[in-house]
Structure 1
Amino acid sequence: MNWTQSVFELIDMRSFSNLWFWIALAVLWSSTSHWVVGVPWDLIQRAARKGGQAMEDMQDLTRININRILYITDVSGLWLMTFACFAITTLGVLGFYYQIEFGQALFLLGLPMSIVGLLTIRTARKIRAKELAGDALVRCFRLHRIAIQIVAMISIFITGFWGMYQNVTVGALGG
């Protein structure tokens, strides 16, 4: 038995039948829902409840993250978009045309995350343009988080459905 056989025996490359894929999917969406434009959700809730120093901390962290996101977008956004589209398309072709399950799994993780990325850029631009602060900023974060959670629900449903389909058809064909 060579090295690659040992690795592929230890790590099942059939993503949808692998528990680690589903754990990674849950952690990905949990983290994405928790960090709203780079600001932790618990800080946003504390700022909404208590105001004062928590509100100032949230606004400072928001300013820092928005400046970072928009700087990266303005400086290298076209290159990042080109690379992301190339990567997503490559994964889609490998996964669904060439029937590589690992490509399907990464596509089903990457495409919704690219949508979240675009939503985040849009929200960052909106916050900067309207100079949102205080309760208006909290409201904007709540709406953005709801949008992320809607994308997450649709993504998890489609990924779960596709994963079950793959497991049934691969299992029926004898693996």
Structure 2
Amino acid sequence: MPQFDGFISFLDSRSFGTIWYWLAVIGMWSSSGRKIIGVPVEVLLRARHALSRDETDGPAMVALLNWLSLTLPRWRLGHREAVVILAATGFLMTSLAGLGFGYDLEMAQALTLLLLPFVILFWMRVRLARRLMPLLQDEHAERQLPAVAAEVVRCMNWHRRLVTLLSILAVAITALWGVLWSLMHPNGM
């Protein structure tokens, strides 16, 4: 079928051997670690330092909670939207993985190794947002600001550590698979 030959030849182009792929991997992971669900890491670090100095109702905590009140509504997913996003990403990732690892297409393998950790990261962010939304609603209810702020900082720090671990694993696995692919296919074939 001639209409699919162009698509298949695009997927079969070299990726692990080009500098552009590795720049994309490094660039995407370095930019993903700068914000946690839309909140800059600097705001979180200031809040964490204020928490360690027992300044739980200072401007750093208020700034963090203000950022969260602005960014958390963007991460609100209803059940229908979550199912649609899960189905679409599941289909796309399964298709890419099948083409890449089942039919031995290098570009599909590279895209799978690049995008799969970001799908995991997306769902980690949705989970964090769902965990933080009740805390911010408690802020206006019976809980005090210091207790809410401390719990928010704790949750976001754990998320930041998990994102760092995920990025290290993703880059290491991608690099190992890229080296293995290059050794098994020295001329790109």
**TM-score tier (shorter):** 0.7 to 0.9
Q: CA deviation at 1:136?
A: 2.2
1:119 paired residue number: 124
- In the alignment, does 2:179 pair up with 1:164? yes
Taking only the aligned residue pairs, the percentage that are identical comes to: 29
Q: TM-score of the superposition, structure 1-length normalised?
A: 0.83
SS in 2 for 1:135: helix
SS in 2 for 1:17: coil
Residues 144-166 of structure 1: CA deviation (Å, up to 9, x unaligned):
01111111121111111100011
Tell me, which stretches of 5 or more residues in structure 1 are unaligned?
A: 1-7
- In the alignment, does 2:92 pair up with 1:87? yes
* Structure (1 or 2) with the greater helix fraction: 1
SS in 1 for 2:16: helix
- In the alignment, does 2:152 pair up with 1:137? yes
Q: CA deviation at 1:43?
A: 1.7
Tell me, which stretches of 5 or more residues in structure 2 are unaligned?
A: 1-8, 140-147
- Larger Rg: 1 or 2? 2
Residues 47-96 of structure 1: CA deviation (Å, up to 9, x unaligned):
333563333222122122221101x4545221111111011011101111
- In the alignment, does 2:111 pair up with 1:106? yes
The correspondence for 1:149, drawn from 161, 164, 179, is 164
1:60 paired residue number: 66
Distance 2:188 2:112 in 1: 25
Corresponding letter in the other structure for 1:42:
E
| Conserved 8 A contact 2:44-2:153 | yes
Distance 2:135 2:40 in 1: 21
Q: CA deviation at 1:46?
A: 2.2
Superposed CA RMSD in Å reads: 2.2
Distance 2:188 2:150 in 1: 57
Distance change in 2, residues 1:47/1:80 (3 Å): same
Q: TM-score of the superposition, structure 2-length normalised?
A: 0.77
Distance 1:24 1:174 in 2: 20
Distance 1:46 1:122 in 2: 23
